[in-house]
Amino acid sequence: MSDTMKIEVVSKESIKPSFPTPSNVKTHNLSNLDQLIPAFYMDHILYYPSLDSKYSSLGDDEEDKKMIFSASSRHRCDVLKKSLAETLTRYYPLAGRIKDEKSVECNDEGVDYIEARVVGIAVSQVIQLANSDIEVMEPFLAYEPYGGTGSAFRRAGIHSNSKALLKIQVNVFDCGGMVICLSGSHKIVDATSILNFVNDWAATARGGFGIHDNELKVAVVDKPCYIFSSMFPPTSFDNQEEKDTAEVQLVPDRIDIVTKRFVFKDSSIAKLKKKCIHVNTNNGSDHQVDKQEHNMQQLPSRIEALTSLIWMCFMDVDHRFKVKQIDDAVSPVNTVNAVSLPKQVQYIAGFAINLRARTIPPLPTNSFGNMTDTAIAEVPLNLTGSNHFNNGKGIRYQSQTYPELVSKIRDSIKLIDNEHVKAMESNFAISCNHIKMHQMLKEGGTLNDDHKTILMFSSWCRFPIYEADFGWGKPSWASISKLLYKNCVMFIDASSGDGIEAWVSLKEEDMVEFERHEELLAFAS
């Protein structure tokens, strides 16, 4: 963090829809999938550097010192607010409040909207700092996700327990740049929904942007459709046990977790994908694996390749740690009762899958709400006996090689198809992998215990995260913020168009070993 950077909250208000929500849609029913999602916020951050010319940004003369924002920055903020109010007339659930476990009251209370002035640093410098220290972004968020003291809420003495379902902070830099942070409640939006919203908002702003415009001209955009509660009606839980299983309310980890960003260039991903073609055997000869031949007719996707690599490295780190625990426990100088330690651990990879494109015909891309299920792959590993590691060179887990992990990931993703969605519609509780994953969490009590170790993956790759042009160009970078939970991985397309960013969140002690893993370092930059 720059020592000279200062962030000052200029204003905070609730932005309401520009027209009242019609009485016939005052209640937005949650879907069963919405009900399964913990009520935390998902962040989308857009970076717009140097929007002003050198003549229109704030300077050091007396007139400039009296101004909070430059005239052009003030105009942009006005356009943002007007277009936000207009966009909320279509996305009216975001301006409402959670009513109960089944519904949102669309009462037009509005979304939280903060404007902040940033001095002493340029947007380009923030991006550079964020590449090595993700927590630099916390002051630019409109809420306190980690209970820290750096956010605008704490600095402004603002009550951080707002029930708003969308929180926005517009950070205006004296250099003329801007960082816009949106935080939407995952209870009612998934990645597709929040990105649809921000791109519709940008289109509306762009339709009315002009340095001399006084009236907002509304752009024509596709209205969101609200169909998921009819596909997956909300459930009333009959007893507390059933409710606890369905509603795994994860809270942010209180342990020290670290989120780090690893970049995989396209050339490195191409090399990684080729590792699936042949397997190195013990005698050093290469040959095709017969049982995988049907799966290896084509190279894996970028995401399948990276998911398998990160899962493999993570399992290696975690397995070594657990084996060491057992070795220490059976040491003659240690009195720990080794009998109580597990002899096997089940490693589970869960991958969030957008169901909209998995149905026949595909569901509308502008459908609003949570529409994801989880692909699940599992690998059991003994903690004693036959596990062998080759110092990061072609690691094998009881015959589990990297290509076999790719095959497991691919097979699990293929299972989330049109038939799977149909099965969910006919018998949700049995067919929904979200519930199966929740049951695993309930049994283990955590994302990582002695018997089950879960690594969760999600991807925003190929999503339109760089399309939000509010009238002053597309962002130079788009990001998320520090992940709230350990053992989570998020993939995002690199802003350069060359490769993928992997945002990995682990316990601090695990990250120390993970980030120096030889297999990871061979491909990440």
Residue type, 107: N
Is residue 505 scored above 90 in pLDDT? yes
Residue 252 included in any domain: no
CATH code of the domain containing 193: 3.30.559.10
Average pLDDT score, the chain = 83
Is residue 71 scored above 90 in pLDDT? no
Residue 251 included in any domain: no
**Do 296 and 289 form a contact (C-beta atoms < 8 A)?**
yes
Residue 495 included in any domain: no
Residue 287 included in any domain: no
Domain co-membership, 316 together with 222 = no
CB atoms within 10 A of CB 24: 6
Taking residues 338-351, report their average pLDDT.
Answer: 80
Domain co-membership, 178 together with 71 = yes
Domain co-membership, 115 together with 185 = yes
Domain co-membership, 379 together with 269 = yes
Residue 283 included in any domain: no
Whole-number pLDDT of residue 439 = 82
Whole-number pLDDT of residue 355 = 98
Domain co-membership, 239 together with 265 = no
Whole-number pLDDT of residue 345 = 87
CB-facing half-sphere around the CA of 50: CA atoms within 13 A? 7
Query: Cα separations (Å) of 387 from 220, 293, 380?
Result: 60, 25, 11
Query: Cα separations (Å) of 455 from 9, 306, 308?
Result: 37, 13, 11
Domain co-membership, 308 together with 428 = yes
Residue 68 included in any domain: yes
Please, which pLDDT band fits residue 284 given cuts at 50, 70 and 90? very low
Domain co-membership, 309 together with 399 = yes
Instruction: Supply the range of the domain harboring residue 324.
Output: 257-278+299-485+503-521
Please, which pLDDT band fits residue 296 given cuts at 50, 70 and 90? very low
Of all residues in the chain, what percent carry a pLDDT higher than 70?
Answer: 76
Q: Give pLDDT tens digits for 163-180.
A: 999 999 999 998 889 999
* Structural domains in the chain (count): 2
Domain co-membership, 199 together with 311 = no
Residue 294 included in any domain: no
Q: How would DSSP label each residue in 202-258?
A: HHHHHHH--TT--SPPPPP-PPPB--HHHHS-----SSHHHHHHH--------S-EE
Best mean pLDDT range from 181-190, 217-226, 273-282, 317-326 = 181-190
Q: Which one has a higher pLDDT value, 242 or 514? A: 514
Residue 274 included in any domain: yes
**Do 302 and 457 form a contact (C-beta atoms < 8 A)?**
no
Q: Give pLDDT tens digits for 399-452.
A: 468 999 999 999 999 999 999 999 999 999 899 998 998 888 776 555 666 688
Domain co-membership, 152 together with 203 = yes
Whole-number pLDDT of residue 401 = 84
Taking residues 483-499, report their average pLDDT.
Answer: 94
Q: Which one has a higher pLDDT value, 398 or 29? A: 29
Distance between first and last Cα of the chain: 22
Is residue 109 scored above 90 in pLDDT? yes
Domain co-membership, 316 together with 436 = yes
Q: Which one has a higher pLDDT value, 115 or 525? A: 115
Domain co-membership, 188 together with 101 = yes
Taking residues 466-484, report their average pLDDT.
Answer: 94
Domain co-membership, 97 together with 224 = yes
Q: Give pLDDT tens digits for 226-255.
A: 999 999 999 986 654 555 555 554 555 556
Whole-number pLDDT of residue 325 = 77
Whole-number pLDDT of residue 4 = 79
Is residue 317 scored above 90 in pLDDT? yes
CB atoms within 10 A of CB 366: 17
Whole-number pLDDT of residue 294 = 45
